[in-house]
Amino acid sequence: MLTKNKILVIISKSVQEKVNLKSSSKNIEGWDSLAQLNILASLDKLTKGKSSKIEQLAELDSVKSIIQILLKKNLIKK
C-alpha cells in the first residue's frame, strides 16, 4: 500500500519541485494542468487503476487534499 511519503515523492516528481503538506498549485509554479495529468497517471499506475475511479481527484490540486481523499478511499496507509 502507498504511504504519504510516496505521494509526496510522486507529486514532487510531477511538478519538478520538492513539495510538502502545504504545497498546492497556488504556491508551486510547476503545478499546472500537465503536471496534474502526470500526478493522475502516476497514481493510477501505483494503485492499479483504483485512484482513477475517484472522480474528485481530477479537481484536487493540493498535496493535502490528494492525501485526504486517498486516505478516505483506503488507498494509502493511515
What does the binding site for other proteins look like in residue numbers (CB under 8 A)?
32-34, 36-38, 40-41, 44-45, 49, 52-53, 55, 57-59
Nearer to other proteins by Cβ, of 48 and 78: the residue is 48
Nearer to other proteins by Cβ, of 3 and 49: the residue is 49
Residue-wise DSSP of the chain: -B-HHHHHHHHHHHHTS---TT-BTTT-TT-SHHHHHHHHHHHHHHTTTSGGG-GGGGG--BHHHHHHHHHHTT-B--
Least spacing, CB of residue 15 vs other proteins, in Å: 12
Least spacing, CB of residue 75 vs other proteins, in Å: 15
